[in-house]
Chain A
Amino acid sequence: MARLAAPGTRRASIAAAGVLAGAAIAWAAVPLHSARAGTRIALVLAVAAGALSIARLAVARLPRVAVPFLASAGRQLTERVFDVIGALPWAEAMLMGTLALEALHPVRPWHTGLLGLALLGYLLAVHLAETDAAPRALRGQLPLLAAGIVLLALAVGAAALPGRPSGPLAILAGGVTAVAVVTVAALVLPGAGRGGR
């Protein structure tokens, strides 16, 4: 039997998620002047969704009023705000907004690769904060994460090569190949999906 992560660990996870969300959005947004139309809207949406996703984590463990209609008007309003924050998937919205923001910029493979790493870190931090788990809970996934990051580097490297084939079919074929490689790698990797500790 073990206790879950201490409250300090959870606060650290939320802080890490906040930092990574901010860094990812900022990384995807710069430079603003070279981006296409709609960047500012995407930026505002991504910032709002990122902030609300962190707020959702922060208010998740706050004590709630058992009978809201007996509470004061201010408290009722606060409860309503908490309900809205807790009801919507802000982290997913932030992911989509940030990727859209990156897509509005010109091609920059390594920049996109680093953004992918930041988003992955953000997802893991959100998960740790959400489940009150310590970072060691992800120890079993390290080989998978390492394999995923290697594939990310390979894809980015391939994209950075000059004279690559173009066209939607080529991209689709590349994507399917990448998925097939990933799946095979996941099945072949020792311990992946076998529940070993």
Chain B
Amino acid sequence: MADGQPGARGPAVRVSWVPSAHARRLLTLAITALVLAVVTRRPEFAGVAAPAVVLLATWRTDRAAELSVRIDGPRTRVVERDEAVISVSVDGQGPHDAELTLLPGAEIFAGPTVLMPAAPGGGPATARMRFRAVRWGRRRPGTLEIVLRDRARLAEGRVLVELARVDCAPRPARLDGTILLSRLQSRLGEHPARVAGDGGEFDGVREFVAGDRQRRINWPATSRRGTLHLTTFAAERTQNVVVIADTSFDVGKLGLSTHDLALRGAAGVIARYTASRDRVGLISFGNGVGWLAPGQGRRHLEHLMELLVRGPAGDRPDAFARLPRAALPPGALIVAFSPLLHPGFIEAVRDLRERGFSVLVVDVLGSMPEHDTSTLSALTARLWRLEQEAMHYSLTQIGVPVRHWDGTAPLDEPLAPYLRRKIVVRT
């Protein structure tokens, strides 16, 4: 079995040839008919064997001993439940038809088997194989099985190539609006700020002073007032956004667990703010803490998704006390996705608020602890719920709004109150 490395010419893979089931059946027919012909002294049975013997007589031994298999792709990021395509180039199949099948790995749906006829000139032939990952994660798409068949379909050559691991990103939650802070940092961006600048959004009209640009003179106001007046525009600034994905607990049904929802929500916020050219950072809080300071660009987005999928390296979640200062530039908006079950995380959120950050928590816990109908169990569940409510209340009291998200609705629904107006920065 070879390992398919994307983008490189794969090593030559040995083909193991065996007689096909069709050949075995033909042989059975031929031998049975010939034996009956001899035993019963009836030559017509030899005639029954004739077509099978003719087909078997084309058995050849000069078959391709090796194949060169090159696997490219997937060229775009693989997103859960989206179709991904890999390109398979096979060289050296000779006059044999090849049948390509993806034997899927865990949580992978393989696309249909593809038939690759022999190339007329004997050159490499290329096929596109499709698969779909059911869930995010770093996983192997599976094993590519190539079956070569000769013209008479008497022999089958088999090659197995294991595909390289791919990062499957979580499906981003839908978020159409953006949450904006009232005070933006002085970097060129796309959000209109409260201060005047060179943006495109109207800010006001004021009297002309020496040094102002003449092309911005507001002539209607000038003619009414009798002195030169100028139109001013709002400056356009960027915003620092830090997304926190708390994956310290994974509770709930597979596919809609807190881990799934935290990653999908985080991916949605990252995708939305990246699209509006804001600077986005990520803190992944799971088995340890991993972070990426806010940045921009496609490469940075890939790094964010990689951290999101792979999670932080480490195995000491309890060592976590304060979130890394390097990942939290002053004045950043912080959006946290968490089931709010880890006490250390709740303390960290409180600490962030005390440090003056604008924090918004999205609660992704969608299930209660299992309990039966006994009084003690019901009481325990009620106590747990009260504890959760108390914790939500305490966060709200210190200025950290907590919104619940069920994972199915767009993120705009729970975040609606913060999408309509800017969040006033209070230090």
Contacts and interface: CB of A to CB of B under 8 A. Distances in A.
Contacts of A23: none
A159 B42 contact: yes
A172 B46 CA distance: 9
Of A4, A100, A159, A175, chain B has the most CB atoms within 10 Å of the CB of A175
A123 B22 contact: yes
A70 B296 CA distance: 48
Contacts of B182: none
Contacts of A195: 60, 94-96, 150-151
A51 B25 CA distance: 16
Contacts of A95: 25, 28-29, 32
B53 A159 contact: no
A132 B113 contact: yes
Interface in B108-144: 112-118, 125-128
Interface residues of A, number: 66
Interface in B41-59: 41-55, 57-59
Contact of B57 (A153, A155, A171, A186): A186
Residue in B29, B114, B117 with the greatest tally of chain A CB atoms within 10 Å: B29
A152 B47 contact: yes
Contact of B54 (A112, A166, A185): A185
A112 B58 contact: no
B48 A148 contact: no
A24 to B, nearest CB: 11
Given A3-B112, A103-B36, A154-B47, A112 B25 contact: no
Interface residues on B, range: 35 or more
Contacts of A55: none
Interface string B70-105: 000000000000000000000000111101000000
Given A4-B113, A131-B153, A145-B55, A155 B46 contact: yes
A148 B47 CA distance: 9
A131 to B, nearest CB: 7
B152 interface: yes
B34 interface: yes
Contacts of A158: 43, 47
Interface string B19-40: 0011011101100111011111
Contacts of B53: 148, 178-179, 182-183
A109 interface: yes
A131 B33 CA distance: 25
Interface in B355-410: none
Contacts of B272: none
B114 A153 contact: no
A89 interface: yes
B46 A175 contact: yes
Contacts of A151: 47, 50-51, 54
Given A131-B99, A168-B41, A100 B36 contact: yes
B46 to A, nearest CB: 5
A115 interface: yes
A41 to B, nearest CB: 17
B32 to A, nearest CB: 5
A141 B38 CA distance: 28
Contacts of B29: 95, 99, 119-120, 123
Given A1-B114, A1-B127, A4-B99, A156 B47 contact: yes
Contacts of A4: 99, 112-115
B191 interface: no
Contact of B33 (A99, A126, A164): A99
A83 interface: no
Interface in A93-111: 95-96, 99-100, 103, 107, 109
Contact of A182 (B54, B99, B151): B54
B52 A120 contact: yes
A107 B39 CA distance: 13
B115 A2 contact: yes
Given A152-B50, A182-B50, A2 B44 contact: no
A170 B21 CA distance: 33
A193 B32 contact: no
B41 A166 contact: yes
A191 to B, nearest CB: 9
A189 B232 CA distance: 91
B58 A178 contact: no
A35 interface: no
Nearest to B59: A193
For A116, A174, A196, the residue with the greatest tally of chain B CB atoms inside 10 Å of its CB is: A116
B93 to A, nearest CB: 11
12 contacts: A1-B128, A92-B25, A99-B48, A109-B44, A112-B48, A113-B47, A131-B153, A152-B47, A152-B51, A159-B42, A185-B54, A197-B151
Given A144-B55, A197-B151, 15 more contacts: A3-B112, A4-B99, A4-B113, A4-B115, A89-B28, A92-B24, A99-B33, A112-B42, A140-B152, A148-B52, A152-B50, A155-B46, A155-B47, A164-B43, A175-B37
Interface of A: 1-4, 89, 91-92, 95-96, 99-100, 103, 107, 109, 112-113, 115-116, 119-120, 123, 126-127, 130-133, 137-138, 140-141, 144-145, 147-149, 151-156, 158-160, 164, 166-168, 170-172, 174-175, 178-179, 182-183, 185-187, 192-193, 195-197
The 6 closest A-B pairs by CB, nearest first: A155-B47, A148-B51, A195-B95, A116-B48, A186-B57, A193-B58
